[in-house]
Amino acid sequence: MPATIRAAAGPTLPTMTADPRSRITVRALTVWAAAVLVYLAAITGRTSFGVAGVEALDRFGVDASRLAVFTAVQVGVYALAQIPVGLAIDRFGARRTMVVGALVMATGQIVLALTASYPIAILARVLIGAGDASAFLSAMRLLPAWFPLRVTPLFTQLTAGLGQIGQFISAVPFLMLLHAEGWTASFLALGSGIAMVGIAAAIAIADVPPAPAEPDGRTGSGGGTSSSENRAPRATVREMLGIVLRHPVCWQGFFTHWVGLMHQATFTLLWGMPLMTLAMGLTPAQAGGVLVVNTVASVAAGPLMGMASARFGARRGTLTVVISVILMGMWVVFLIPDTPRGLAAIVALNIAMAALSSASGLGFDSVREAVDRRALATGTGLSNMGGFLAAMMAAQGIGLLLDASSDGRAYEWADFRVAWIAIVLVWVMGMAGLITAMIARRRIERREPATGARLRHP
């Protein structure tokens, strides 16, 4: 067995072995609700530009290819910021990082509201992507500190699902405000709202519960850190990176996110609307309705996937493989006909895709259970990169194949059938990585029984 794997997963690395809380408290729910609100605001900011695409063409005087740079830049910054932000959370705490991230997001939205310069607007999207990167990771770091580990899979999926309401806010009330009051007023309102959410989070969130009182009446941690975390030596950045990059469970989380989220992210962030309107002939109102259905399905499926995650435990990788194959199979069946599918088919596909894509979060639960808590946010950050990197690759590949297939013509159904080959190629890469990580984890379980038992029953 390679020494690096043994170092990452061997008994010398402490893991979370006890619930930080014995029960769910009102204070814990308050902290969680504040974190969800920040994440919801982040999703609203992330998706708001997508519904303002037509207005952005006129405001910045750009063509479609330059407009696409806005999305590519934001998603790219978000993905690349995951590990640095995770390191910051592990070093400075989730509350501080989340609040700073919200204020950075708000600044980006306000700059976007006030500028008509394309380069400055790109910089604003960089700020939005960087601030957005802190929201979900911070929320995930708070869960094991405030809730018993037996319920954290459920709250993970609830957090992810409720955050998707931000997509609805962008598609309905924000779009109405944009059409009624214009670009500047709507984006100023969005930026101001995110800033207020950040301030509320600073008041409501604490990194950990107060430590229980000792027999002499003093608190065990003095400053609000749990006693177990207070005793643990603080890991250096190099140590945290070493723990994460050499741990097969972190890579299993990365590729779980890759194969679970890539279809949903590629569709909702970029190519869903062109597919529905240009290739299938749906009206913008019909296509918007499909996206709303997608959001509702995602929110509804979250708790169910959380319960499945808790039940499957160490077998989450197998569940992910099955769900990913089903997702890919549905898209193949959808695109097989020579003529476009109808509205009912795309609605059914979106319900199933949104529901099954919540499996992208299964890896977060495995990381939370198996990785040293000092590097937990960093490990979650690595996992959270997978789906967005896959979506970037797939979206770019679809664009290249669309241009090659259409040869300058308007995009048609046949062109999208060819372009979706990019999705298949990226999916194959992700499945290969997921299976490799699962094999590496099982080798540890076989060769080092003590470590394997900890991975199976943290």
64 domain-assigned: yes
Helix axes 94-114, 118-146, angle to 10 degrees: 160
Burial of 442 (0-12, 13-18, 19+ CB in 10 A): middle
Residues contacting residue 122 through CB under 8 Å, at least 6 positions apart: 69, 70, 73
pLDDT string in tens for the chain (458-residue length): 444 444 444 433 334 444 446 788 999 999 999 999 999 999 999 888 877 776 887 899 876 567 777 877 888 899 889 889 988 998 899 999 999 999 999 999 999 999 999 999 999 999 999 999 999 999 988 998 899 888 888 898 889 889 989 988 987 889 889 989 999 999 999 999 999 999 999 999 999 887 665 544 444 443 344 444 444 566 677 787 888 888 899 999 999 999 999 999 888 877 888 899 889 999 878 888 898 899 899 888 888 888 888 888 778 989 999 999 999 999 999 999 999 999 999 999 999 999 999 899 898 888 888 887 778 788 888 888 999 889 888 888 888 888 888 887 888 999 999 999 999 999 999 999 999 999 998 887 777 655 544 444 44
- Residue 228, domain member (yes or no): no
From CA 346, how far away is CA 324, in angstroms rounded? Answer: 18
The residue segments making up the domain with residue 178 are 3-14+25-211+237-456
In a domain, 78, yes or no: yes
Q: Per the domain annotation, does 219 fall within a domain?
A: no
* CA 104 from centroid of its chain's CA atoms: 18
Structure tokens at 389: 């990197």
Q: Which two tokens stand for residue 40?
A: 């919801």
Angle between helices 248-266 and 362-370 (to 10 degrees): 160
Q: With contact defined as beta carbons under 8 Å apart, do 280 and 336 qualify?
A: no
> Does 218 reside within a domain?
no
Domain count, the chain: 1
| CATH code for the domain in which residue 342 is found | 1.20.1250.20
Whether 132 maps to a domain, the answer reads: yes
The pTM (predicted TM-score) of the whole model is 0.76
In a domain, 230, yes or no: no
In a domain, 232, yes or no: no
Q: Are 179 and 54 in contact (CB under 8 A)?
A: no
